[in-house]
Structures are given as structure tokens and as C-alpha cells.
Structure 1
């Protein structure tokens, strides 16, 4: 576990903060994949609800 040293030589065992970076917006292809996965997820949940109601 990494430690940081404070004034006077005391050790501090709080975590070191990771380097910050700027997030990049999704590309057009990634947006299309997200949309397809969303539609597929909605279809799956809708189908499961339909099956649950039809069985009961």
C-alpha cells in the first residue's frame, strides 16, 4: 500500500489520487451500438413480462 509523507516525516495512509483525464464523447458507431443494445434489452424485458403474464 503506498503511503505519502506529510510535514515532519509523518506517514499518511490515504490513497493517492489517480491522474485525471478528459472523457471523450462516443463516436457515431458507438452510439449505434448503444441504441441497438437498448432496443434489444427492451425487447427482452418486454418478452419476459409478456411470458410472465401469459403463464399466470
Structure 2
């Protein structure tokens, strides 16, 4: 996700692109970690859209 306009603030007062591209990863892991059993793996991919 990327907004090309001025800063777009989300409901938690963080910039929306930063929220989706940075803060969402640890939240995703915490929400779903109890559904996985060893040797399951969680692989996160990310870009650098929030920079710049």
C-alpha cells in the first residue's frame, strides 16, 4: 500500500503506509502464532515503500 498524496493518517495516528508496511508484520505474527505448530514457519516479505 502506498499513498502518493500528503501524509495519510490511520485510526491510531500513524501514517498509513508505515502502518501497513512496518507495523503490520509483528501484529500478524502475534495474532496467528498460536495456530502454527513446529516445524511451521512464518515468512514475511516487505518492501521499502514507506521510505521516501
Shared fold, TM over 0.5: no
Report the TM-score when normalising by structure 1.
0.27
Using CA pairs below 8 Å that are at least 6 residues apart, which structure has the higher relative contact order? 2
More helix by share: 1
| Larger Rg over CA atoms | 1
